[in-house]
Amino acid sequence: YSSSPHFKHCLIDELMELTAQSINHLEIQERFNVIKEIGRGKYGKVLLVTHRCRGTPMALKVMPKASTKLQGFLREYCISLHLSCHPCIVGLFGIAFQSKEHYCFAQELVIGRDLFAVIQPKVGIPESSVKRCALQVASALEFIHSHGLVHRDIKPENILLLDSHCQQVKLADFGLAQKRGTMIRFITGTLPYMAPELCSMALLDGQREVTAPPLSVEPSLDTWAFGVVIFCILTGYFPWDRCMDSDDFYQEFAGWCRMEQRSYTEKDIPPLWKKFTPEAMEMFGKLLALDARDRFSVGEVRGYMEMEWMKKTYPVQSGLDSSMEMRHKFIHFSPMGLISSNTSYVLSIQNPFIPAPALTLSDSFLSINLLTLCCSWLCADGRPAAAVRWPGVPQVLSGCDVS
């Protein structure tokens, strides 16, 4: 019973109620040193801050009260906190408060870029990197769905990279997340990633909130968006603008999906999809099934990891798979700058031969004569591996043997 979605929904409701009762009133500058703004959107902004007492670097999400309902803030914070134990989901510090004009909560600082920033237009990223990313996002989504929740905003901008080769990624932004089965009338989102059942509710003029007949929030919405993301990062372009009859590219794909006996021969595949292998098209056909009831769960993408996705006749970028066999190399650390008064530094890691580890910044990252680097990386199949620690002396800044 304790593992049922209903029980987990009750936990989130209870957490929201307790947070509402205990949320502190304070101004940001009372507890945090603001370093700079690192993100901005219609929700508000994200600030790089350090805790005044502990010196811990954090990402502080700041949402204006004028455009944010308290229940919406509580839902996002509590859902994020509830899920943050997963290694492929951005972590939280359990710090939430309100100032005179804002609601705020503190997240782990993810040093890196989002997935959208590394997609080369009309080229995409290497298939090996796509598969590593897909495995981790699928793991995060399975975890979310097992808790009876739906993310509802899966897109490259919400997938954060701890390195440029997708060795470790984290899913972020639970601002649109809802409990499974929630009936929605007002929808927001990014049209290319929205499933047909959502697009049928949307207006034709882009990303805006609309009134529509109620629709039940289901994991199949995330499955569709996940399939579109895989297409985008493999190719460097969208498969369509929106899933509507007025979109020719969508209609070509929908026509192929509706074939009584689906053909994987090149002449029958829609033009934008011809670079994919039959195995990849089978996977897309299941992730992007027109009927939400026919879509498979995101975890089933694992069954396609050993298969080729891109035809060899089409140019693709070379990956870094050989890196798993070349661990007797050096990691080079480059200080990127002082970020707090107690000598906490952000370090960049550059090495093309081994999986880039993910830095976890502790309260005192550097001491006088000892550096301890806490990092985690992924196994070759994309599953998170156990965390490791590399102790060393200051000479580690010029390289260390990780063999």
Tell me, letter by letter, the H, E, C secondary structure of the chain: CCCCHHHHHHHHHHHHHHHHHHCEECCHHHHEEEEEEEEEECCEEEEEEEECCCCCEEEEEEEECCCCCHHHHHHHHHHHHHHCCCCCECCEEEEEEECCCEEEEEECCCCCCEHHHHCECCCECCHHHHHHHHHHHHHHHHHHHHCCEECCCCCHHHEEECCCCCCCEEECCCCCCEECCCEEEEECCCHHHCCHHHHCCCCCCCCCCEEEEEEECCHHHHHHHHHHHHHHHHHCCCCCCCCCCCCHHHHHHHHHHCCCCCCCCCCCCCHHHCCECHHHHHHHHHHCCCCHHHCCCHHHHHHHCCCCCECCCCCCCCCCHHHHHCCCCEEEEEEEEECCCCCCEEEEEECCCCCCCEECCCCCCECCCCEEEEEECECCCCCECCCEEEEECHHHHHCEECC
Write the pLDDT tens digit of every residue in 299-322.
Answer: 999 999 999 999 986 554 443 332
Q: What is the pLDDT of residue 305?
A: 96
173: alpha, beta or left, given left = phi > 0 and alpha = psi -120 to 50? left
Backbone angles phi, psi at 259, to 5 degrees: -60, 135
| Alpha-carbon dihedral sign for residues 173, 93, 50, 62 | positive
Domain 115-304: CATH superfamily, name plus number: Transferase(Phosphotransferase) domain 1 (1.10.510.10)
C-alpha–C-alpha distance, residues 91 and 38, integer Å? 17
CB contact at 8 A, 43 and 177: no
Q: What is the residue whose two structure tokens read 């237009």?
A: 121
Q: What is the pLDDT of residue 3?
A: 58
Beta-strand relationship, 92-98 and 24-25: parallel
Per the prediction, the chain carries an average pLDDT of 79
Which residues on neighbouring strands pair with residue 107, listed in sequence order? 59, 92
383's tokens: 């599953």
Q: What is the pLDDT of residue 139?
A: 98
Which residues on neighbouring strands pair with residue 354, listed in sequence order? none
Which residues on neighbouring strands pair with residue 237, listed in sequence order? none
Radius of gyration of the CA atoms of the chain, in A = 22
Domain spans of the chain, in order of start: 5-107, 115-304, 322-401
Burial of 328 (0-12, 13-18, 19+ CB in 10 A): exposed
101's tokens: 């004009």
98's tokens: 């309100």
Write the pLDDT tens digit of every residue in 192-251.
Answer: 999 999 887 765 444 455 555 789 999 999 999 999 999 999 999 999 999 988 999 999
Q: What is the pLDDT of residue 208?
A: 54
Is 36 marked as binding a ligand? no
Q: How much is the pTM?
A: 0.75
CB contact at 8 A, 285 and 262: yes
Q: How far is CA 129 from CA 136, 179, 264, 343, 363, in A?
A: 11, 31, 25, 34, 32
C-alpha–C-alpha distance, residues 192 and 197, integer Å? 13
| CATH of segment(s) 5-107 | 3.30.200.20
Q: What is the pLDDT of residue 213?
A: 73
Q: What is the pLDDT of residue 324?
A: 26
Q: What is the pLDDT of residue 142?
A: 98
What residues of the chain score a pLDDT lower than 70?
1-9, 186, 202-212, 313-403
Q: Is 291 part of the annotated catalytic residue set? A: no
Q: What is the pLDDT of residue 209?
A: 52
Catalytic residue among 114, 153, 222, 247: 153
